Structures are given as structure tokens and as C-alpha cells.
Amino acid sequence: MEELMEALRNGSVRLHELDMRLGSKEATRVRRRFLEQATGTDLSALDVDLPYDQIVGRNCENTIGAVSVPVGVAGPLPSRARTSGGRSTSPWPQRRERW
């Protein structure tokens, strides 16, 4: 593992190449560890068990994990769309001042 970290540090291996070498789940873990070491930042909160093999190449590149985003609903909102009858609701990510 340390040889791989050194290869990432010196640029002989690039982050996006890890998926082909290790598989998506392990590549995600290695990228996260590499970035933790490079930045001195704890990224353990991103360690979520997802089907990374189904995500990589479709929804996200160079995955390092995932986060949960609270979503609420706003509305009814005025709308010009004829199908909404002039009012509709919409999902919105929620922002909290304190977690």
C-alpha cells in the first residue's frame, strides 16, 4: 500500500487509474486515504458503503466517498407552467447553520 501511495505522490500513478488497478470500492478507499495524507484532513465521514462499481463512470469520477444531504420540500411555488395550474412544489436541499 505504501508503494502505491508513493506512486500517487510522485505522479507515476494518477487517481483516476486506481479503479482499473484495484476495483472501484478499493480505489475509493485508497483515494480517500491519499487525500487525507496529502491535506491532513480527516475524511472518514465520507466512508459510506455504496455500490461504487455501479457509480464510477456513470455518476461520479475519482470517488472518495459520499455524503448525506437533507432534502425538504418548498412550495407551493408560483409557476408559469400550464401543467402545474400555476403552483407547484419542489425538493430543495436543506441548509443548516449548525449540524
88-97 pLDDT, tens digit per residue, is: 666 666 665 5
Task: State the residue range of the domain holding 37.
Answer: 2-55
Q: What is the pLDDT of residues 32-50, one digit of tens each?
A: 999 999 999 999 999 988 8
Q: Domain for residue 62, yes or no?
A: no
Our count of domains for the chain comes to 2
Mean pLDDT score, 5-16: 95
Element of type H or E holding 72:
strand 71-78
Q: Verify that 6 and 46 share a domain, yes or no.
A: yes
**51 and 73, same structural domain?**
no
- Residue 50 in any domain: the answer is yes
The pTM of this model reads: 0.68
Residue 99's pLDDT band (cuts 50, 70, 90) = very low
Residues 87, 75: contact at Cβ < 8 Å?
Answer: yes
Q: Is residue 60 part of a domain?
A: no
Amino acid found at 87: R
- 9 and 49, same domain (yes or no): yes
Whole-number mean pLDDT of the chain?
A: 83
